[in-house]
Homo-oligomer: A and B are copies of this chain.
Amino acid sequence: MRSTGPPPPPVPSGSSHLLRTINERAALYHLMDNETLTRVELRRLTGLAKPTASHVMSRLLESGLAVTAGRTTARQAGPKAEVYTVNADYAFAAAATLREPDGITVAIADLKGHEKASSAMRVDFTAVPPDRAVLNLLRRTSEVAGIDPDRIATLHIAVPGAYDADTDTIGHADIPGLSELRMRTSLEAELGAAIEIHNDVNAATVAERRNPEAAGGLVVLWLGREGLGVGIDLQRGLLTGLHGAAGELGYVPVSPDRTGADDPTFQDWLGAPAVAELGRAHGIEGDDAPAVLAAAVGEGASDFLDEYATRVAAALRLLKCLLDPPQIVLAGEIARAGGETLLGHVRDRAEDFGERVIPSAVYGDAVAIGALDSAHDDLKDRILDSALGTGP
């Protein structure tokens, strides 16, 4: 379904053109990696000779991928070196989130990763199909930011559900009309952009990559206002699974050896319903699960916190034993409401791997931020792969 024809060999071959492509790719990579660059710095990074570095740079300027950004303020002898940057407006990355009952958000970033515009809108998905809603808000947002929608090269969408890339369908989604839609196909037809659809927890997991502590790989236990999920980001990239349904801890039975009729899952035992029930048992009130946790922390209800932390630690032990990740991030609205207090209790219960449990390093909407980060990474990869190397 994905690709046709035989796959290209993993080891390329070619002639002088390939060499030029390689060197231009390398230069572009360093340019995207370094904010600003002079010819001399490029020379040092790539090891190319002076005339070659010069030539490669002028090719990048011609193609519009690089732009000049003044000259160095020379404090050494000699002329001032010309400074180059990536052309931030060469192409844009967009991200959208779909949530119930919040509606949708859209954000657009330039090639440098700077957010240019964002907007949110409540949507009644029974009245407006999700794909139309995203399209409308994306067009409006790009207009506000003064961005030509045709320059948006990637669009990543975070949805609450499991996206199956092979069939272009979304499973386990509680948004009306979402499971019947072929979202990627329909949006790709309207927009020119490359569309990717991610699970919301996976998007939040990408956002946690901003934490330099988690560079070696991380697993996120997402304790959301409603649902529960796990994001796995180890070695190279997200683990999404065959049908995009990896990390669905919520569907796992807590006690498979008990063949009772109720058969509680981790969602029942650890998710929002469990928090509400635990709150009632301990006399702690709140409108929703995060509120209950905030109240518990405020009141110093250590019995409640111990009980809940024990459950969280049990889930973490499962993840630690199966995946042995360098870091386990506690994230989501409930975890945020629990704050350092909850984290401390969980660490106490986690015993041997407590030091690996860290709080979320993301401020703000992790799902939206992660989706935009993901779209931006994808954009850079695509620019690197396609914008050059189509020489004679």
- The reply on A325 being an interface residue by CB < 8 A is yes
- The reply on A147 being an interface residue by CB < 8 A is no
With contacts A236-B235, A257-B311 taken as known, whether A324 is within 8 angstroms of B13 at the C-beta atoms is no
Instruction: List B contacts of A216 (CB < 8 A).
Output: 242
- Is the Cβ of B258 less than 8 Å from the Cβ of A255? yes
A9: contacting residue among B29, B323, B324, CB under 8 A: B29
CA distance A324 to B259 in the complex (A): 24
- Is the Cβ of A47 less than 8 Å from the Cβ of B241? no
- Is the Cβ of B22 less than 8 Å from the Cβ of A317? no
Q: With CB as the reference atom, state the residue of chain B lying closest to A230.
A: B322
- Is the Cβ of B314 less than 8 Å from the Cβ of A253? yes
For residues 346 through 385 of chain A, which have their beta carbon under 8 Å from a beta carbon of chain B? 384
Instruction: List B contacts of A22 (CB < 8 A).
Output: 11-14, 18
With contacts A11-B384, A14-B19, A45-B9 taken as known, whether A323 is within 8 angstroms of B29 at the C-beta atoms is no
Instruction: List B contacts of A323 (CB < 8 A).
Output: 232, 239, 241, 246
- The reply on A247 being an interface residue by CB < 8 A is yes
Instruction: List B contacts of A326 (CB < 8 A).
Output: 242
CA distance A251 to B33 in the complex (A): 43
CA distance A26 to B245 in the complex (A): 37
- The reply on A5 being an interface residue by CB < 8 A is no
Specify how many copies of this chain sit in the oligomer.
Answer: 2
Q: With CB as the reference atom, state the residue of chain B lying closest to A254.
A: B257
Instruction: List B contacts of A321 (CB < 8 A).
Output: 245, 248-249, 251-252
A11: contacting residue among B25, B243, B249, CB under 8 A: B25
Instruction: List B contacts of A319 (CB < 8 A).
Output: 322
CA distance A33 to B19 in the complex (A): 25
CA distance A237 to B217 in the complex (A): 15
CA distance A325 to B243 in the complex (A): 8
- Is the Cβ of B242 less than 8 Å from the Cβ of A317? no
- Is the Cβ of A235 less than 8 Å from the Cβ of B239? yes
Q: With CB as the reference atom, state the residue of chain B lying closest to A258.
A: B255
- The reply on A48 being an interface residue by CB < 8 A is yes
Q: How many whole Å from A144's CB to the nearest CB in chain B?
A: 35
For residues 293 through 338 of chain A, which have their beta carbon under 8 Å from a beta carbon of chain B? 310-311, 314-315, 317-319, 321-326
- Is the Cβ of A13 less than 8 Å from the Cβ of B23? yes
- Is the Cβ of B255 less than 8 Å from the Cβ of A322? no
- Is the Cβ of B255 less than 8 Å from the Cβ of A47? no
A residues sitting closer than 8 Å to B (CB atoms) are: 9-16, 18-19, 22-23, 25-27, 29-30, 33, 45-49, 162, 216-217, 230, 232, 234-237, 239-249, 251-259, 264, 269, 310-311, 314-315, 317-319, 321-326, 384
Task: Give 9 new A-B contacts, CB below 8 A, not counting A9-B30, A11-B29, A319-B322.
Answer: A11-B22, A12-B22, A13-B48, A14-B19, A18-B22, A217-B242, A241-B324, A255-B258, A256-B315
